[in-house]
Amino acid sequence: MTTTDNGVNVQALLDAREALKGAPEAAQFIWRATSTWKNGVHSTTTIQNFFGLGQEQSHKTKTEFTADHPEIFAAEDNGITPIEYLLVGLAGCLTAGVASVAQNRGIQLRSVTSTVEGNHDIRGILGADSDVRNGFNDVKVTFAIDADASREEIEALVAQSQKRSAVYDALTNPTSVTVEVA
């Protein structure tokens, strides 16, 4: 019998799922990001602490992200645009999901690449046309997966990843967002 190793500790995930069924309050997490304006449309966002399992938690290291706009928008292009980070989140979440589901199903992966494209009419954010929305018109995710599996099994991996993706859910279902001044 061949052992599948995609680097995912599925047993720990299954154990956590069972434990949290009996302790739903511990499953309530608060993820945090703090953004600081630098100049123009350039900002940096840091992530380190979050709340989960009933108490404050920390990532091993603080991570900093730089956001800006390209020079064609009269900016310095110090980093990707904030809306591109949305694509990063979706790609990362769905790709991680494919690895997790494959591990759970005993499918050995050799490579997984997801390409995410967002079609965006920027007239909305520029205020050039009030009928054009500010965000993406649509988003497309394309996977290229090399695995010891049939096409149907690979399609099922992607479908299950999509079903369990927190980022996919946040993008495709209404999410309450509150913006306030402290």
Give the CATH number, domain containing residue 97.
Answer: 3.30.300.20
Residues sharing a CB contact under 8 Å with residue 66, sequence separation 6 or more, in sequence order: 42, 43, 44, 78, 79, 80
Residue 134 CA from chain centroid, whole number: 20
Could you tell me if residue 161 is inside a domain? Answer: yes
Could you tell me if residue 110 is inside a domain? Answer: yes
Per the structure block, which two tokens stand in for 175?
């999410």
- Number of domains comprising the chain: 1
The residue segments making up the domain with residue 114 are: 81-182
Distance (Å, rounded) from C-alpha 68 to C-alpha 40?
A: 8
Could you tell me if residue 151 is inside a domain? Answer: yes
| Per-residue pLDDT reduced to its tens digit, 44-103 | 999 999 999 999 999 999 999 999 999 998 899 999 999 999 999 999 999 999 999 999
Residues sharing a CB contact under 8 Å with residue 82, sequence separation 6 or more, in sequence order: 67
| Per-residue pLDDT reduced to its tens digit, 4-31 | 899 998 888 888 888 889 899 999 999 9
Could you tell me if residue 1 is inside a domain? Answer: no
Could you tell me if residue 117 is inside a domain? Answer: yes
Could you tell me if residue 73 is inside a domain? Answer: no
For the stretch 146-170, what's the b/e string if a residue is b when 16 or more beta carbons lie within 10 angstroms of its beta carbon?
ebebeeeebeebbebbbeebebbee
pLDDT at residue 10, rounded to an integer: 84
Could you tell me if residue 169 is inside a domain? Answer: yes
Percent pLDDT > 70 in the chain is: 99
Could you tell me if residue 23 is inside a domain? Answer: no
Q: Give CA separation, 165 vs 79, 92, 156, 157, 173, in Å.
A: 26, 10, 14, 12, 12
Rg of the chain taking only CA atoms, in angstroms? 19
